[in-house]
Amino acid sequence: MTAMVGLIGLGLVGKAMAGRLLASGYRVIGFDTDSQACSAAGALGVTVGRDEDTGGSTSGRSATA
C-alpha cells in the first residue's frame, strides 16, 4: 500500500512539496482555491480535490478523491 499525503495549498511551496513527495513514492492529494495551481499540480500527478468535494465551504469536511 502506498502512503498518502494531503496538501492544502498547491502554490509555489505546495507544488514543490508535492513534487518531492511524488518522487519519493507517496500518493499526493491536494487542493487550492486557484484553479491554475490545481492544474499545474495535477500535471505533476497530484490527485486534485474539487471545491464541490468540500461543499463549497470551509466546514472542515475532508475532500475525497
pLDDT, tens digit (0-9, with 9 covering 90-100), for 2-12: 899 999 999 99
Confidence (pLDDT) at 1: 79
Confidence (pLDDT) at 19: 97
The total of other beta-carbon atoms located within 10 Å of residue 44's CB is 16
> What domains can you pick out in the chain, each with its CATH number?
4-54 (3.40.50.720)
Q: Which residue has the higher pLDDT, 45 or 65?
A: 45
Tens of pLDDT, residues 10-41:
999 999 999 999 999 999 999 999 999 999 99
Q: What is the pTM of this model?
A: 0.74
Give, in degrees to the nearest 5, the angle at Cα 40 between 34 and 43: 140
Confidence (pLDDT) at 39: 96
